[in-house]
Structure 1
């Protein structure tokens, strides 16, 4: 029971910190604001995290764990689903919004081992490796280079979408990346099998469709 309570308290602090970081950035956040947002005392805050830097690192490290596609898939479709889910969650998920802002604001303070770009590259390499084993990729594809390129392209899409549309068109931009990349890396028969509709990236919202529209 104590362990479960401690885990819930830690999760509340991480969530509250993510909301504050997303709103105000690292410099604009304070431990007192985070504790207040979480509805906890400063003592509880310092019991779990020694400072706001530790909270920031926890958020950045956990970025890939936040993204869980709603539908089962494998190989190329799996990575497409992961990127679409990420794009839709970037519209309103504080943990992802905070991670994006922290990496941008605090590149010197976040160490290379805790850089979310590298974590996402590992995820992409795993999916591309599976795709290769399934016979989906063309011969000679450089998987590590391809993984880095896709992560960089999604990062750039996120930054431009933030400036130009408040991220509302991020799912569409991610789909555009794949439609440009797939013909160059996948065997012809596989390209036409990939699906990009909204159901691949977000769960149905009660009472109607969610925000955003990547469906074609």
Structure 2
């Protein structure tokens, strides 16, 4: 397990820095400080390694649970925004998502994030926080796509220094189409401070 983790962390660093296409298995092996055989024991190819990075990137982010699942979703996206500025695993996962297409499962890089948001939006609907016409699954897919665009724009403009502000702006423009009037008046698109620190 230590070897597997060392390889994943090395892959995250190399891919996050150089990009998926430019990253080589030789460079990842060298950075991990393990043998080629040890790497291929855990990951049969760079594609398999990329898929593992994608799965690992969501692990540290357990969405909080409060009385408002929609506010929890806001807080969660701010937590991710802060991590995107410094966490190699999520940075690598994002580069893989942007730079790679998995022909067998094209939404693989995004699916875990869509599932997390869909769960929170479904629970928000069950709590009466969503407008009746909102379909949680479709809303989650739309939001993840929008969030990906926002973080890419922020990366290009400020190397993600302004990402939390851009996520706030995304929520300000999205919430009126998602939240019921009663819920909207209580939501903070900036996120609750206790939940957005890393």
Q: TM-score, normalised by structure 1?
A: 0.82
Any gaps of 5 or more consecutive residues in structure 2?
A: none
Q: Does 1:189 align with 2:182?
A: yes
Structure 1 position 194, deviation (Å): 2.3
Any gaps of 5 or more consecutive residues in structure 1?
A: 1-6, 204-216
Structure 1 position 160, deviation (Å): 0.5
CA distance in 2, matches of 1:156, 1:147: 14
- RMSD after superposition: 1.9
Structure 1 position 52, deviation (Å): 1.8
Q: Does 1:201 align with 2:196?
A: yes
Selected match of 1:121 from 106, 110, 114: 114
Q: Does 1:81 align with 2:75?
A: yes
Residue 85 of structure 2 corresponds to 91
Q: 1:56 to 1:112 in 2, by over 3 A?
A: same
Please say which of residues 136-145 and 82-91 is displaced more in the overlay. Answer: 136-145
* Contact 1:67/1:86 (<8 A) preserved: yes
Residue 132 of structure 2 corresponds to 139
Structure 1 position 198, deviation (Å): 4.0
Selected match of 1:49 from 43, 46, 51: 43
Q: Does 1:40 align with 2:34?
A: yes
Q: TM-score, normalised by structure 2?
A: 0.89
Residue 168 of structure 2 corresponds to 175
Aligned length in residues: 195
* Contact 2:79/2:196 (<8 A) preserved: yes
Structure 1 position 187, deviation (Å): 2.2
Q: Does 1:62 align with 2:77?
A: no
Residue 27 of structure 1 corresponds to 21
Q: 1:125 to 1:72 in 2, by over 3 A?
A: closer
CA distance in 2, matches of 1:114, 1:56: 14
C-alpha distance after superposition, 1:56-103 (max 9, x if no partner): 11112333223235x543511221122111111110111111111112
